[in-house]
Amino acid sequence: MTPAELEAQKETLELLNTEAASRLTRQSESLAKIDTKAVFLIGFAATAAQFLATHKHHDVLAYCAFAAYAISLLAGVQTFRVAEYKDLEPRHLVVSYARLSRELALIRLASSRASLFEENQRRHQKKARYWSVSLGSLIVGLGLSTVALLLHT
C-alpha cells in the first residue's frame, strides 16, 4: 500500500486493531475462567474420593468410581498443564515497530494480534476438552459412588 492508501485506511486500521486487542482480552479472561473451574473440579473429585474411601461400599463399583475420580483429577491437572497464554512482547513491539508509520504499525500490530489469537485459540480448545473430560469423569464417579454406597447399606 502507498502512504496515501495507508492514510485513507487509518480509521479502519484503528478499528481492526482495537477489535483484535479486545478479542485477546476476552480470550485471556475465558482461559482464566476455565482454570478456575478446573480447580473446583479437582477439589471436588479429591473430596469425593476421600469420602468414598472412608465409608463402607460395594468394592467393584467403588474401584470404578475411584478410577473415574483419578481420570477427573488427571484431566483437571492437564487443564493447567497446557501451555500458557501468549501475548505481545513489549520489547519486540518497540524494536520492530518504532520506526514505522502509524498506519503501517497498526497493520502489523493487528496482524500480530490475529496470529496470537489463533495460537491461543488452540490452547483454549485443549483446555476446554480437558475440562470437559474432567467434568464427565467426575459425574460418572459421583454416580458410581452413590450406587456403591447404596448397595452396601
Q: Which residue has the cell 491437572?
A: 77
* pTM of the shown model: 0.78
User: What pLDDT is recorded for position 123?
Assistant: 87
Number of domains the chain contains: 1
Do 95 and 1 touch, CB atoms closer than 8 A?
Answer: no
User: What pLDDT is recorded for position 98?
Assistant: 76
Q: Which amino acid is at 102?
A: R
User: In whole angstroms, what is the distance from residue 48 CA to residue 92 CA?
Assistant: 48
Do 24 and 115 touch, CB atoms closer than 8 A?
Answer: no
Do 24 and 113 touch, CB atoms closer than 8 A?
Answer: yes
What is the domain range of residue 41? 3-152
DSSP state letter for 100: S
* Per-residue confidence in pLDDT tens, the chain, 153 aa: 667 776 777 777 788 878 888 888 888 888 889 989 999 999 999 999 999 999 998 889 999 999 999 999 999 999 987 767 777 787 887 778 778 888 888 888 888 888 888 888 988 899 999 999 999 999 999 999 999 999 976
C-alpha cell, 25: 482480552
- SS3 per-residue string spanning 14-29: HHHHHHHHHHHHHHHH
